Amino acid sequence: MSDPFSLSIVVPVWMEASGVVETLGALQPLRAAGHEVIVVDAGSTDGTARLAGPLADRVVQSEKGRGAQMNAGASVAKGRVLMFLHADTRLPSNALDCLSEFVPSDKAWGRFNVRLSGQGAMFRVIAWFMNQRSRLTGICTGDQALFVRREIFEALRGFDSLPIMEDIEFSRRLRLVSRPFCIYDPVVTDSRRWEQGGVWRTIFLMWRLRWRYWRGESPQALVHSYRSDVRNAKD
């Protein structure tokens, strides 16, 4: 990898056989440029790890949970900048150019704006509110491809191993170091959870969970509410 800008992209996965080849295929230009892709599987039984192998620099096994998985990936990463990318999120084609502007900045970490894959006007409204909330609060969600300097990640001891809200909790600690570096070229994240759960139902669920988290409820309690609501939406 080139110095000083070397990037490690950590992709946590679980049972992603149907989409992992497309996800990692989109990252091959970054590998060709000398950067690193690390897939962290949580014991998938559908062949996810096997499919990921030829398209990643490393495939690591970890306990299930995004926080634990992302920490496991970071522990073997070589890059000076660490990026955490959800399996259903795609980077913009100019991501490396955008990140090269982050490297000489005085910011410790950053995130991308987000766009949802759905074509309806409501999805554009949701994305606008997500981006404005992040800009105003300095809080990043996992859909926004959070990136951080390695030394900062290590100093903060990475993500807490939480069942939910690990991205928001880590953002709160990162925000004490610096405001985020904001890249306005958006990542595109899959809108399926809004489509399957219902747009308004999903919006209210996510805001309700965040409100309860800010009031001090534990992520362990919140994840039960989240799973119950998702099950009810499928019934």
Per-residue pLDDT tens digits for 53-68: 999 999 999 999 999 9
Q: What is the pLDDT of residues 138-150, one digit of tens each?
A: 999 899 999 999 9
pLDDT band at 216 (very low <50, low <70, confident <90, very high): confident
Predicted TM-score of the model (pTM): 0.86
Q: Which backbone phi and psi does 57 adopt, to 5 degrees?
A: -75, -30
Q: What is the pLDDT of residues 74-105, one digit of tens each?
A: 999 999 999 999 999 999 999 999 999 999 99
Residues 4 and 103 sit within 8 Å (Cβ to Cβ): yes
Mean pLDDT of the chain: 89
Question: For residue 204, is pLDDT > 70?
Answer: no
Which tokens is 60 given? 């690591």
pLDDT band at 3 (very low <50, low <70, confident <90, very high): very low
Selection from 69-78, 117-126, 187-196 with the highest mean pLDDT: 69-78
Amino acid 162: pLDDT? 82
Identify the structural domains of the chain with CATH numbers, from first to last: 7-188 (3.90.550.10), 191-235 (no CATH)
**83 three-state secondary structure:** strand
User: What does each C-alpha distance from 230 to 114, 123, 223 come to in angstroms?
Assistant: 23, 19, 10
User: What does each C-alpha distance from 28 to 36, 65, 93, 98, 166 come to in angstroms?
Assistant: 9, 25, 11, 17, 27
Q: Which backbone phi and psi does 119 adopt, to 5 degrees?
A: -90, -15
Question: For residue 16, is pLDDT > 80?
Answer: yes
**8 three-state secondary structure:** strand
Question: For residue 232, is pLDDT > 60?
Answer: no
pLDDT band at 235 (very low <50, low <70, confident <90, very high): very low
